[in-house]
Amino acid sequence: MRIRPLSCSIGVVIGLLSVHTAVSAAEADPAAANPTFANPDTPGLLAGKPAPDVVNLSDVVFLKQLAMGSRAEVEIGKLADQRSSTSGVDAFARDMVKDHGEANSKLASLARTAKVSLPTELGPAHVAARTELSRLSGTEFDLKYVDGQIKDHQQAVQLLIYEITSGQHSGVRKFAADSLPTVMAHLEHARSLRAQLTPPEVTPPPAASR
């Protein structure tokens, strides 16, 4: 368990940990985490097999933060699909709605098994981003949307990488590892869209002298 300010209820998590008395039958990955940063009460810790189906605080932070971002991908993606006039951008937005919709279902079911409650509303940053986007159109909209996507996917990539060595819940860690190639591909796609939307300015050749 890591020490850090948390938006979730630490009491709920600690209570959750303490009700587990035996190492679960779920697959344990002994090489996963550094026990120096573990909750000393983690079942199975002393046997080198921390309970794989129990969350630590990194899992909780990861689940909540990723769920919030992924929910925003769907909501803002729907707006972009309606609003964008550029075929590459609207196709990307539809991919986001589909891929993150699927991811959200998986996250919801993981969160249920891990007994973590996920945020049901967008965070203030994404609400502000959606409000700003809803006022834009044309290339201005496309650029703003794609820029937001680049930032959001950069954050998501780092969150997934973080969970791989910091998390404890084997299902959540597996979800992070399995999702990384897809989210990295989304980031690369968004970066290539941005490059297409901002072609290097070419100075027209001087008019031939008459």
Partner 1 sequence: MTRATLFPGYLLASLAALSVSDAALPPDTTYRPLPTAPLDAVIKSDQAAKPAVLQRQRSLFEQRYDLANRPMPNAKMSGGRKGVQAGVRVKLPQGMTWERLGEMTPEQIRTQRAFPAGFMRLPHVKQSAGGQVFPRQQIDEINAQEKRNLERFDVDFDLPDHFTPEFPAPIFLQSRPDLGDVSQGKLLTIRNYYEIMVGHLTPVQMEGLRLLLTPFPQEEFNQTEDRKVIEQSLGVTCLDCHANFHTNAAFHLTPDVRPQAARFRLDTTSLRGMFNQQIHGSKRSLRSVEDFTEFEQRTAYFNGDHVSATRKGVHLPDRANQVAMMAQMQNMIDFPPAPKLRPDGTLDPAKSSEQELAGERVFNGKGQCATCHVPRQDFLDHQMHDLKTERFFTPGLVVNDQAVLPDGPIKTFTLRGIKDSPPYLHDGRLLTLADTVEFFNLVMGLKLTAPEKESLVAYMLTL
Q: Which is nearer to partner 1, 49 or 78 (CB)?
A: 49
User: Contact positions toward partner 1, by CB under 8 A?
Assistant: 1-4, 30-40, 45-50, 58, 61-62, 65, 68-69, 123-128, 152, 155, 158-159, 161-162, 164-166, 177, 180-185
DSSP secondary structure code for residue 36 in this structure? G
Q: Which is nearer to partner 1, 58 or 86 (CB)?
A: 58
Q: Which is nearer to partner 1, 136 or 184 (CB)?
A: 184
8 Å CB contact between 59 and 163: yes
8 Å CB contact between 104 and 71: yes
| Residue 86 beta carbon to partner 1: minimum distance, rounded to whole angstroms | 26
* 3-state helix, strand and coil shares in percent for the chain, rounded to the nearest 5: 65, 0, 35
| Residue 52 beta carbon to partner 1: minimum distance, rounded to whole angstroms | 12
CA distance 42 to 23: 9
Q: Which is nearer to partner 1, 86 or 110 (CB)?
A: 110
8 Å CB contact between 99 and 74: no
| Residue 71 beta carbon to partner 1: minimum distance, rounded to whole angstroms | 12
Q: How many helices (H) and strands (E) does the chain have?
A: 6, 0
| Residue 82 beta carbon to partner 1: minimum distance, rounded to whole angstroms | 24
- State the amino acid at position 79 in one-letter form: L
